[in-house]
Structure 1
Amino acid sequence: MRLLETVARHEYGAPAKQLARETGLALPTTYHLLRTLVHEGYLHRDKGLFFLGEATERLSSSGAQQKRRTTVVEALAHWRDTLGAPVYYAVYREGEIEVLCVSDTPGNPAVEEWADFRETGHAHAIGQCLLSQLDEEARRDHLARYPVRPVTPYTVRDAHSLLRRLDRIRRMEPVIERQEYALGTVCAAIPITVGTTAATIALSLPVHQADRLLPAVHRLQEEMGRLLGSLTLSISI
């Protein structure tokens, strides 16, 4: 790693002897490490000078992605503790609903995924929020692949009713769902923009705490407004 860092400081490359001197490594050790790093693609050699290779670019990209993931996890944990409720981050990507991150505690557990979230988007606030951000063709395509079906007695009954409901949701308006996916649970999902990808931050509460749902949603919107200015939610986490 010290050798890689030293090479990185030389935009126009550096010879082995200079790298050995700057890292404090013995020259034979330096040559051995340089050969290994070139073989693995972390460095490349040109006219006796060593430069960073493509593998270090992938490593850097992975590091940046990991940093974004950590930022998202920390933000969700902050909102979870502020609201006293589990918080979810989900996106609609390549025709599928993906719950990418969930932050909960033993005292405030997340909703158990007893029916596949991808197949039951019509029944939960996360799915409804994501579908509401799609155009009509994309919505119909999703429902053709994942037909509306009863999940609980409160689930929307058919695709026509669901599409009408989605049409009535105003842009950037929170989506509220009460016991449509899981009996005893109420949920809310807030749409967010991640490039051209539909995404959402959601929370859930036990039904006996339903009176907390709207105040919690408003608080979450305020918290998101403060943090999203400096927070990049990665769709690839």
Structure 2
Amino acid sequence: MKAGFRTVKLRSHPIGRNPHVPRSTAAPGPAAAGGVQSLERAFDLLERMADAGGEVGLSELAGSSGLPLPTIHRLMRTLVATGYVRQQPNRRYALGPRLIRLGESASRLLGTWARPHLARLVDETGETANMALLDGDEAVYVAQVPSRHSMRMFTEVGRRVLPHSTGVGKALLAQLPDDAVRALLARTGMPAATERTLTSPDAFLRALAAVRADGYAVDDNEQEMGVRCLAVAVPDAPTAAAVSISGPAGRLTEAATERMVPVLREAARQLSAALTDTTDGAAG
């Protein structure tokens, strides 16, 4: 099975900030009304550690956060004691194992929240709907609702793919500056999944420019021959996210694209509102 989609013939019947966009170096200001400043600072340090690849030194955190070293040291001691950070033999600090359980649980919940919106996409387009996140250098599928057609596309929730040959990957990478995309492609390479896969960074960056101009991405037989996908980014998501629909190229024609893209955009907008409500609704 190729990385990405599997065609299934039936006989009857998977939160945020873009890590590639520089974070402000200003120290977190006073806590918002009702907030706790030390908690805000601790979470800010954890996110800065994630942005740096998961392992940093105190001086690096001081330089990026603007916080005094004694404050950072006190916060890191607390995070180490609770298992969310671990101190390495080289005295640097790394993200701790307790974060894994939180991340896995959050990813499952995100997929649960997305499913009703994906189900509406399936109802309105007739094609399989997916949601994916950018995790490191890969796109990971966190939710899917399959089409009801006997011939439909399927990919496992939790599957990781290189983003250069997928619609969701293009939608995700189009949110990044070109130099960050070039660096990512240099790390992952651009292996060809089909004869249509873009394997040149320059060609891929031109494709991303088109995604930004058009407001949606297309995988046109680039991950698997005979399969077409349309994808859009989820605006203002807590972490870089995209939704897509996928189906046989014979159904996802240019005419169908014109009809389906507005539906896809509306689903992404509604999902963004739902995620914002979820993250903002905890207070009170």
Matched, 1:142 2:204: no
Give the Cα separation in 1 of the matches to 2:154 and 2:175: 23
Question: What residue in structure 2 maps to residue 14 of structure 1?
Answer: none
Cα RMSD after superposing both structures:
3.4
**How much has 1:200 moved relative to structure 2?**
0.7
Equivalent residue runs for 1:76-91 within 5 Å: 76-91=118-133
Deviations 1:185-209 (A, max 9, x none): 1111111234463211111121111
Give the Cα separation in 2 of the matches to 1:111 and 1:233: 30
Matched, 1:222 2:266: yes
**How much has 1:219 moved relative to structure 2?**
2.0
Higher gyration radius (CA): 1
Contact preservation (8 Å) 2:217, 2:230: yes
Equivalent residue runs for 1:174-213 within 5 Å: 174-195=216-237, 197-209=239-251, 210=253, 211-213=255-257
**How much has 1:214 moved relative to structure 2?**
2.7
Contact preservation (8 Å) 2:235, 2:269: no
Unmatched segments (≥5 aa) in structure 1: 1-61
Given candidates 140, 144, 157, the residue that maps to 1:98 is 140
Give the Cα separation in 2 of the matches to 1:68 and 1:127: 18
Q: Segments of 4+ in structure 1 off by > 3 A? A: 62-69, 222-235
Equivalent residue runs for 1:4-19 within 5 Å: none
- TM-score, normalised to structure 1, is 0.61
Q: 83-92 vs 224-233, which deviates more?
A: 224-233
Contact preservation (8 Å) 2:235, 2:268: no
Give the Cα separation in 2 of the matches to 1:173 and 1:189: 9
**How much has 1:230 moved relative to structure 2?**
3.9
The number of equivalent residue pairs is 174
Q: 225-234 vs 190-199, which deviates more?
A: 225-234
Counterpart residue identity of residue 240, structure 2: A
**Percent of aligned positions that are identical:** 24
Given candidates 100, 110, 116, the residue that maps to 2:153 is 110
Deviations 1:70-114 (A, max 9, x none): 33122211221222111111111333311111110452632457x
Give the Cα separation in 2 of the matches to 1:90 and 1:150: 21
- TM-score, normalised to structure 2, is 0.52
Give the Cα separation in 1 of the matches to 2:107 and 2:199: 40
Give the Cα separation in 1 of the matches to 2:228 and 2:128: 12
For 2:266, what is the secondary structure of its paired residue?
helix
Question: What residue in structure 2 maps to residue 8 of structure 1?
Answer: none
Question: What residue in structure 2 maps to residue 159 of structure 1?
Answer: 201
Residue 169 and residue 216 in structure 1: after superposition, are their counterparts in 2 closer, same or farther (change >3 A)? Answer: closer
Unmatched segments (≥5 aa) in structure 2: 1-103, 280-284
